[in-house]
A and B are shown apart, each in its own frame.
Chain A
Amino acid sequence: MSSETKQILTTDGIPLEVSLKKAEKKNKIKAFLLVAPLLLFLVITYIFPIGDMFMRSVDDRMVTNMLPKTFKAMEKWENLEELPPEEVYRGFYEDYKVLVENQEHGKLGQRLNKEKNGFNTITKRLFRQIKRNKIDESISIKEQINKIHKRWRNVEFWLAIKRTAPPYTMAKYLKGMDMYVASDGSIAQVDEDRRIHRILWLRTLEIAFFVTLFSFFMGYPIAHLLATLPMKYSNLLMICVLLPFWTSLLVRTASWMILLQQQGVVNDFFVMIGLVGDDNRPEMMYNKVGTYVAMTQILLPFMVLPLYSVMKTISPSLMRAGKSLGGTPFVAFWKVYFPLTIPGIGAGCLLVFILAIGYYITPALVGGASGTLISNQIAFHMKTTLDWSFASAMGLMLLTGVLVIYWIYNKLVGVDNIKLG
């Protein structure tokens, strides 16, 4: 009784909720159709490629597909200290025979050689034996293979084959962090003089951090000026801020090269006013100074615009209130104005940091030897070594890094507080 009375009916006797859903259904479909093209676009150009990248970065199915019988038999190999049982040898022999028929045995040799040095030789020997039909399938295959080369009698080599069994591998990710899977299966670090990627990661973070910091300290006063100046001046200033947007990235970077090089405009000026001697011109390019200057200038609008949009909404009477209540201009700024701009600071810093982390043309052109960042490395592997799976792995690591930063930011400031404009 009571539950019936709670349900509200329309005048036709249909429950109100049903009626409401029916009425809103059309609107919902319309709304969905409006966003559908964008959704499709995002799926095709964003989600699908990222998924593909991920698959590439972990894909290791080659050996798995080449040696199906071997791996099936290996499930029964229990005592890993001893050589595998006869079934594994037989399975490997049969798989290998198929590869020889398809002329794919060379690939396997190379792949296994990467896993453990010395495989190439012994698989070639096995290939010759098979070609000459020297192997008698009616007796123990294990004994015959073991006779071909002493390495076949070494359990380490069989363990190496077993390690390639899983269709997926984390090896590319480990490589991106200068680590690898050692022969005993543990994760080890590469030699100290070959740890290139870790330096690049740190350098990328460092440059992104400082560029964000410089952009913030330069962008905050500009944004404040923009938000408080009368319209006719602020429009002009806004154009100055946006000007870099309208210039090609390469043109901007090239202009910085002209300005900053040792015989460049800035150095000439310093010499002219006697700040430095003509024979003692400071290097402002092909080092971090150049990278910082050029990247800060290029990314500055991304800091200024969110800050400006937030500052524009802060009523000037708040600062006045702060002052009239007895706060010095600094206190009024620090306790009243600054906290209200935090959403803009968050948005600007996040934007600049994330963009800076993925930058590579500018640092590569003006940064010199120190200008190689992680994105250069990704591009290098995409274009030069064609190791797409490694490039994908590093790309995904970069993406994960960005997501982690976003997550930390959300914990500290709260994403709801971001205001982009």
Chain B
Amino acid sequence: MSKNPEFVKFDKVDKSYDGKVLVVKDLQLDIAEGEFITMLGPSGSGKTTCLMMLAGFETPTHGEILLDGNIISNIPPHKRGIGMVFQNYALFPHMTVYENLAFPLRVRKVEKDEIDKKVDKALSMVSLSGFETRMPAQLSGGQQQRVAVARALVFDPAVVLMDEPLGALDKNLRESMQYEIKHIHESIGVTVVYVTHDQSEALTMSNRIAVFNDGKVQQLSNPAELYEKPVNSFVAEFIGENNTFHGEVVDIDKDKCKVKLANSEILANPISVKSKGEKTTVSLRPERALINPTDKMDNMFTGKIEEVIYHGDHTRVRLNLLGSSEFILKVPNSTSNLELKVSQDINIGWNSVDARALDPK
């Protein structure tokens, strides 16, 4: 069985609630069968609206949504066969765990034996066997979340939507649930559309991530590429930490450009700049800049340490470099015992490949 690369398709979808502001603008997005795709973005970026349109609770103002080649815009939610996990779990408080899981099967008129079997299987999948007779209020937040996941999967939907499902959990539980959901996805191969504003969650779980801002997909790529190669300054800022320099391109060739800052010049990798004289924002990941580099690097500067913050596995160092006192370095604690002290001068170097000259912000 070959996987359909356009299993879910948003085709030029617009959405407006009030006729004045477009919440989603000309959305073009293909989701492959069996894929785990995450919609990531700040609140108000339109990601939840996209999910609601896919689930059928909102109708697109313009454009079509296709599921397995069929236009679904006119199909009511209960006929779409899409499982959904809600932000606040939305477990039915007056039903036991068993009844919650049996609900989607009962409305589909599945036989009693079959229901028992499927509920059993779904509960063991989220390691909650034996909790059938509990009421949702008797479960912890993590358990409720797992019941919600099991309920969205128990009727074998083609697509499962998850709307910030881990938002209400504490940090440790959230991390373990991330792996659990990821493993469930890998073992049953269902298509998952996941919405979150938490970038680490998105990076951990997804096959591909669609970064939303201002109603548009800014970048759609796998986690590594998204982090390493952001295509614009919004993505670079939103995903991970980021050092930025604002300047003007003074020289450009195929894979290098010279950017003039306030009182110095740096070499960068031209991503979205084309010609001399353009304004640009240069983005550099903190871990790509090294202290006292041994290799020959094409950007070498001296900075003054403003602040040293111990973080356990690494130390964050804030430098005054090239006229900005917001330059951040991440120094792993295991490798060396560098004696970093405030107001000490250190040499910093990075390769121009890692300094991405993006659109000005």
Contact = CB atoms under 8 A, between A and B. Distances in A.
Q: Are both chains from one complex?
A: yes
Interface of A: 315, 317-318, 320-329, 331-332, 335-336, 339-340
Contact of B155 (A315, A325, A328): A325
Nearest to A314: B93
A320 B57 contact: yes
A323 B108 CA distance: 12
A340 B57 contact: no
Interface in B89-128: 90-94, 103-104, 107-108
Interface in B137-194: 151-152, 155, 161
A324 B92 contact: no
A209 B102 CA distance: 37
A324 B78 contact: yes
B282 interface: no
A102 B82 CA distance: 94
Given A326-B108, A339-B94, A340-B94, A321 B86 contact: yes
16 contacts: A317-B90, A318-B90, A318-B92, A321-B92, A322-B92, A323-B57, A324-B77, A324-B80, A324-B82, A326-B104, A326-B108, A327-B107, A328-B78, A331-B78, A335-B103, A340-B93
A340 B152 CA distance: 21
Nearest to A325: B104
A321 B81 contact: no
A315 B92 CA distance: 10
The list of the 7 closest CB pairs from A to B, nearest first, reads A325-B104, A321-B90, A324-B84, A317-B90, A323-B77, A317-B86, A327-B107
Given A315-B90, A327-B107, A336-B92, A321 B78 contact: no
Contacts of B55: 320, 324
B86 A325 contact: no
B88 A315 contact: yes
A320 B78 contact: no
Contacts of B87: 317
Contact of A317 (B76, B88, B107): B88
A326 B94 CA distance: 18
A325 B76 CA distance: 12
Contacts of B78: 323-329, 331-332
B155 A326 contact: yes
Contacts of A325: 78, 83-84, 103-104, 107, 151-152, 155
The winner among A324, A335, A340 for most chain B CB atoms within 10 A is A324
Given A339-B94, A340-B94, A326 B107 contact: yes
A265 B43 CA distance: 55
Contacts of B79: 326
B79 to A, nearest CB: 8
Interface residues of B, number: 28
A228 to B, nearest CB: 14
A320 B77 contact: yes
Contacts of B83: 324-325
A324 to B, nearest CB: 4
Contacts of B82: 324
A331 B107 contact: yes
B87 to A, nearest CB: 7
A317 B148 CA distance: 12
Nearest to A342: B94
A322 B103 contact: yes
Contacts of A320: 55, 57, 77, 84, 86, 90
The winner among A322, A329, A340 for most chain B CB atoms within 10 A is A322
B102 to A, nearest CB: 10
A96 B82 CA distance: 94
Contacts of A340: 93-94
B347 to A, nearest CB: 55
A325 B78 CA distance: 6
A9 B76 CA distance: 66
Given A320-B55, A321-B84, A326-B108, 13 more contacts: A315-B88, A320-B77, A320-B90, A321-B86, A321-B90, A324-B161, A325-B103, A325-B107, A325-B151, A327-B107, A329-B76, A335-B103, A336-B92
A344 to B, nearest CB: 13
The winner among A321, A324, A325 for most chain B CB atoms within 10 A is A325
Nearest to A319: B90
A328 B104 CA distance: 11
Contacts of B104: 325-327
The winner among B86, B87, B88, B92 for most chain A CB atoms within 10 A is B92
A325 B150 CA distance: 12
Interface in B216-258: none
Contacts of B103: 322, 325, 327, 335
Contacts of A335: 92, 103
A317 B76 CA distance: 16
Contacts of A321: 84, 86, 90-92
A341 to B, nearest CB: 10
A339 to B, nearest CB: 5
Contacts of B91: 321
A320 B91 CA distance: 11
Interface string B66-82: 00000000001111111
A325 B86 CA distance: 12
A100 B197 CA distance: 99
A328 B75 CA distance: 12
Nearest to B99: A335
The winner among A320, A331, A339 for most chain B CB atoms within 10 A is A320
Contacts of A317: 86-88, 90
B299 to A, nearest CB: 51
A316 to B, nearest CB: 9
B47 to A, nearest CB: 17
Contacts of B152: 325
Contacts of B90: 315, 317-318, 320-321
The winner among B76, B83, B94, B152 for most chain A CB atoms within 10 A is B94
